[in-house]
Each structure stands twice: as C-alpha cells, then as structure tokens.
Amino acid sequence: MRIDIVSLFPDMFTGPFGCSIIKRAIDRGVLDINLVNPRQFAYDKHQMVDDYPFGGGDGMVLKPEPIFRAVEHIEKNTNISNKRVILMCPSGKPFSQEKTRELATYDQLIFICGHYEGFDARISNHLVDEAISIGDYVLTGGELAAMVIVDATSRMIPGVLGSEHSAPTDSFYNGLLEHPQYTRPREFNGLIVPEILLSGNHAKIETWRQKESLKNTFINRPDLIDHIELNDKQNKLLKEIKEELGGK
Ligand code: ADE
C-alpha cells in the first residue's frame, strides 16, 4: 500500500515509522510511506500556510491552496485510482477496527494533517473523501491521529504482521475484547497461571478463552455486546458470567 501524509511537521513521523513492525513492512516493500510538507506548495514570499479566519475569532486557519496543491501533486505523481483522501479532524467520523479493514482494501491512502485552529472548509467539503477522528478529544494536530490510523490499518494488510494469525485474535476483531494471555513462569510472586491453560485440553481452553473474552467485554465495554449477535454458546457463557458477577 502506498501512503502519503500531508503534514507541516513531517519529522514527527520518524520515530513511529522507523521501528518495529511498520519499519519492517516498509523495508520489505509492503508499505510505501511518503511525507509531503504543504509549505512547499505555498508560493507567496513568506510561504504562508495559515491565515486569520473570516468573520473573526481566535487562532489561525489552514489555507486551501497549499493543501489542494499538495494533494494534486501526490495524485499526479502516483496516479493510483483505488485511493482514499482522508482528513484528520476531531469532528470527523469515529475511527474503529471495522474502519481499519475497509481502509486496508485501498491501494493508496492520502492523509491530511491539520494544525492550528482548523481548516478552510473547502478542504473538508471539496478535497477529501472523508474526515476521521480518533476520539473525543482535541490533539495539537492531526499527525498523531494519522500515525494511529496508519499503524492500526497496516496490521490488516496481508504480509505486515509476522504471523497472519495475530489479527484474528485481536481485541475488537470479532466485536469482543481479547481474552487474557499468560506465559512462563507458571508462578510469579505467588501469582499463578490458571490451571486450565496447563491442562492440554484444547476444547476446554477454547471455552475458557471465549468466556474470559466475553467477561472482559461485559465488564469494560458492555456497549460492544449490544452490537453483536452472540451464538448459543456465547449466550450461555454470558449468563454464567452474569450469575458469577451477580453478587459483586
Ligand atoms: N486532530 C486533532 N484532534 C484530532 C482527533 N481527535 N482525531 C483526528 N484528528 C485530530
């Protein structure tokens, strides 16, 4: 996948994209990430990328011309048709695991990161396919949000994760939170690994994992349970969980 990021602060991406899984994907050519600074498309003497808002108000607004030109430059040079232009914005649609699966189907993602008080609305209305928010809080800019989306989406691209088995067991992958995991030692500071995981009984271990996954979700994110259709086994496990937690 080709990823282009339009940002006034391209240096911010060096750390997160320079190590671990994303770096490996770049080195192997699975991901091709390019950074474009819109300031190079501001043609006035001072290379201004922002200006005062019409109608008054605090802060500065990103001007349309450098952003439009940056995206046009990317599109002209890459010429990829199966693409999505995405604006990072706290008032965009909420990001989710489901969205990562959709974004992973494109051949190119172009991210526009804002800074300052906001964007000229012609950018959101006429340049981008969609605006995405990573949560109900305001960051100092869209860069961290773009990193989050690139990271989470990359994991869904075949060949990015070392093992293709990792993604299907993720929290949210099947609409539920993940079950707990344990590794050696069996006992640490008097804390012991659940006996069932050492039993070698794969059917029982699978049921335990399903139940723990449901329990985590029921306790931490009950809203998720309302959005999925549980099968008979899961309904039975959830009933048990509610009974067990009933007295607490
Ligand atoms: N830019 C500033 N805050 C943001 C958020 N929460 N999500 C996406 N982009 C942003």
Q: Of 185, 183, 188, 207, which is closest to residue 196 (Cα–Cα)?
A: 207
Choose one of 87, 89, 130 to mutate for the ligand 1 pocket test, by most ligand atoms within 8 angstroms of C-beta.
Answer: 89
> How far apart are the C-alpha atoms of 178 and 171, rounded to whole Å?
4
Per residue in 102-123, pLDDT (tens digit) is 999 999 999 999 987 899 999 9
Residues in the chain: 248
CA–centroid distance, residue 144 to ligand 1 (Å)? 8
* Whole-Å CA distances, 117 to 9, 89, 96, 152: 16, 11, 25, 26
pLDDT exceeding 70 applies to what percent of the chain?
Answer: 97
69 falls in which pLDDT band (50, 70, 90)? very high
248 falls in which pLDDT band (50, 70, 90)? low
Q: What is the residue extent of each domain of the chain?
A: 2-154, 171-244
3-state DSSP assignment of residue 202:
helix
Q: What are phi and psi of 115, to 5 degrees?
A: -145, 175
Please answer whether residues 208 and 194 qualify as being in contact, where contact means their C-beta atoms are separated by less than 8 angstroms.
Answer: yes
Of the two residues 189 and 227, the one the predictor is more confident about is: 189
Per residue in 13-22, pLDDT (tens digit) is 999 999 999 9
164 falls in which pLDDT band (50, 70, 90)? low
Q: pTM above the 0.95 mark?
A: no
149 falls in which pLDDT band (50, 70, 90)? very high
Per residue in 24-44, pLDDT (tens digit) is 999 999 999 999 999 999 999
Helix (H) or strand (E) holding 76: helix 64-78
181 falls in which pLDDT band (50, 70, 90)? very high
CATH C-level class of 2-154 = alpha beta
- In this structure, of 120-124, 158-162, 197-201, 210-214, the range with the lowest mean pLDDT score is 158-162
> How far apart are the C-alpha atoms of 206 and 176, rounded to whole Å?
15
233 CA to centre of own chain: 31
pLDDT, residue 44, reads 93
pLDDT, residue 171, reads 78
Does the pLDDT of residue 165 top 70, yes or no?
no
CB of 135 closer than 6 A to ligand 1? Answer: yes
> Which protein residue has the closest C-alpha to ligand 1 atom 2?
139
pLDDT, residue 38, reads 97
- CB-CB neighbours of 210 under 10 Å: 17
CATH C-level class of 171-244 = mainly alpha
> Which protein residue has the closest C-alpha to ligand 1 atom 7?
133
Choose one of 134, 140, 149, 151 to mutate for the ligand 1 pocket test, by most ligand atoms within 8 angstroms of C-beta.
Answer: 134
Average pLDDT, the chain: 95
* Nearest atom in ligand 1 to 88's CA: 9
